[in-house]
Amino acid sequence: MDVKVLGTGCTNCRNTIALIEEVARAKGVAVTVSKVQELRDIMAYGVMSTPGVVIDGQVVHAGGVPARVKVEQWFGA
What is the reported pLDDT for 29? 94
Please, what's the b/e burial string for 49-69 (b: 16 or more CB within 10 A of its CB; e: otherwise)? ebbbbbbeeeeebbeebbeee
CATH of 2-74, one of 3.40.30.10, 3.30.43.10, 3.40.50.150, 3.90.280.10: 3.40.30.10
- Per residue in 1-52, pLDDT (tens digit) is 999 999 988 999 999 999 999 999 999 999 999 999 999 999 999 999 999 9
Active site residues: 10, 13
DSSP per residue, 2-63: EEEEESSS-HHHHHHHHHHHHHHHHHT---EEEEE--HHHHHHTT--SSSEEEETTEEEEES
Over range 47-74, report the average pLDDT: 96
Q: Which residues contact 58 (CB under 8 A, 6 or more apart)?
A: none
The per-residue pLDDT for 51 is: 96
